[in-house]
Amino acid sequence: VEPIDDVRQAIQETLNHPIGSAPLHELAKPGDRVCIVFTDITRSSPDHLLVPALLDELKKAGVKDENITLLCGIGMHRPSTPEEKAIKLGTDVVSRYRVIDNEPQNPAALVDLGTTPGGVPVLLHRAAVEADLLIATGIVEPHQYAGYSGGRKTVAVGAAGEALIAHTHGPAFVDHPGTRLGQIDGNPFHEAVSEAARRAGLRFILNVVLDDNKRILRVTAGEPELAFQ
């Protein structure tokens, strides 16, 4: 598959015509508190291209800079460094907006959204849950547990509390025959991730597919389930 020549144009075209959703500049309203959850340095998602494009859409909608939080979805990884945040987002974005890390072991930073039918405790970062508009970036690629990464996983794992991550990465889930690379249907991990993101109120995603050289092959945006599919 040939990589996309003009990546910025492709991202903008995707944002102009999202899947199953109004454009972001129509979803957002002046005065809204917006949270964008982005991947940490361990993921190849080109957030330095994706996040600024999302911020431009929010600016068109009249959302103020001070009402936007960029949440690094570190999951249970170590906190990201200032240098890593700058690599992921660009120095201009980091200097202009509130950029924070997930805090999976800080009860004060988490909101309890109950337990899924599968028994998963849903605790997610307060900045994501309390936003009027929750957005996520991501990279769609085969994942050993979730079937595929991207979609809702950036929020549901990246911005999750330790209890949710421990449960979904524990033996009962990992040993389940449905928890497999490239498998979505009947995958309890994928089902838990989807439910957690739904409870968080995830409204809009911007995802890419990359080749082995990290070049962008495909960009999708819009309603989390449809755009991920």
Neighbours of 76 (CB within 10 A): 16
Task: Choose, from 48, 77, 169, 176, the residue flagged as catalytic.
Answer: 77
Residue 42 near residue 154, CB atoms below 8 Å: no
Residue 159 near residue 128, CB atoms below 8 Å: yes
Q: What is the mean pLDDT of the chain?
A: 95
For the CA atoms of 84, 154, 103, 166, what is the dihedral angle to 10 degrees? Answer: -120
Collapsing DSSP to helix, strand or coil, 203 comes out as strand
Model confidence pLDDT, tens digit, residues 140-192: 999 999 999 998 899 999 999 999 999 888 898 889 999 999 999 999 999 99
Residue 118 has a pLDDT of 84
Backbone angles phi, psi at 112, to 5 degrees: -85, 115
Residue 38 has a pLDDT of 97
Mean pLDDT for 83-109 is: 97
Mean pLDDT for 82-90 is: 96
Task: Choose, from 143, 167, 169, 190, the residue flagged as catalytic.
Answer: 143
Q: Does the structure show a pLDDT above 90 at 211?
A: yes
| 108 DSSP assignment | G
Model confidence pLDDT, tens digit, residues 122-144: 999 999 999 999 999 999 999 99
- Reply yes or no on whether 77 is catalytic: yes
Compute CA distances 4 → 43, 113, 209, 210, 219, whole Å: 20, 39, 11, 10, 9
Model confidence pLDDT, tens digit, residues 19-42: 999 999 999 999 999 999 999 998
Residue 151 has a pLDDT of 86
- Reply yes or no on whether 169 is catalytic: no
Residue 109 near residue 119, CB atoms below 8 Å: no
Query: What is the percentage of the chain residues whose pLDDT exceeds 70?
Result: 100
Map tokens 């990290």 to a residue.
Answer: 214
Map tokens 């769609």 to a residue.
Answer: 140
Side chain identity, residue 177: P
Model confidence pLDDT, tens digit, residues 187-200: 999 999 999 999 99
